Amino acid sequence: MQTLPQTITHPLIGDTVTFLKTADETNGAYTLVEVVLLPGGGNDLHYHVDYIEVFEVLEGVLGIQYGKTEHYLNPGDTLTVPKKVVHRFFNRDPRHPVKFRVTIQPARHFEVMLRIAYGLAVDGKINKKGLPHIWHLAILFQKGESYLPGVPLVIQKGIFGILARIACIRGVHRELYKYYKPEAG
């Protein structure tokens, strides 16, 4: 059986993620990843209702907006983002990448979501803003359990839940297996 790559790279963002411990290896207790984030890289504000994230900086300076406050973490610093707290991470350094680890507790479907998102990007199935078409996006929202601030949670879960169900009825979810299910080979 062919195994999944330990390290994945997002061609648009330019960051790499290495899976150090997967949900399978920890019986779902957590997922541990190491991220190298290029200068200017980062993500948008979001929150999670089903897991926490613990950030630990290894090299460089990692910016984390936590609520309305920006924190800058140096090597050895850690920060825990609890459930339901709006946050994002970023690298403001114009010349140097930042390397950090993130522990996601419990693991949930974080690895699956990340592998799908990066796989779609590698295959050129995203637009210039980094978004896939609506059916893939709905499945990503469902798997990632990440939500946008400013839109009521019940509306996000309702809309993307319905769209994800339609995508599955249409068989779209099977197109995504190649990103997170090892192929027999």
For the segment 91-147, what is each residue's pLDDT rounded down to a tens digit? 999 999 999 999 999 999 999 999 999 999 999 999 888 889 999 999 998 888 888
> Domain 7-105: which topology?
Jelly Rolls (2.60.120)
Q: What number of other Cβ atoms are within 10 A of residue 32's Cβ?
A: 19
For the cut 60, the answer to whether the pLDDT of residue 1 exceeds it is no
- Chain mean pLDDT for the chain: 92
For the cut 50, the answer to whether the pLDDT of residue 185 exceeds it is no
Least confident among 8-22, 24-38, 89-103: 8-22
Burial 132-170 (b: 16+ CB within 10 A, else e): beebbbbbbbbbbbbbeeeeeeeeeeeebeebbeebeee
Q: What is the pLDDT of residue 3?
A: 84
For the cut 90, the answer to whether the pLDDT of residue 167 exceeds it is yes
DSSP 123: T
Average pLDDT over residues 49-74: 95
Q: Where are the domains of the chain?
A: 7-105, 110-180
For the cut 80, the answer to whether the pLDDT of residue 78 exceeds it is yes
- Residue 2 confidence class, pLDDT cut points 50, 70, 90: low
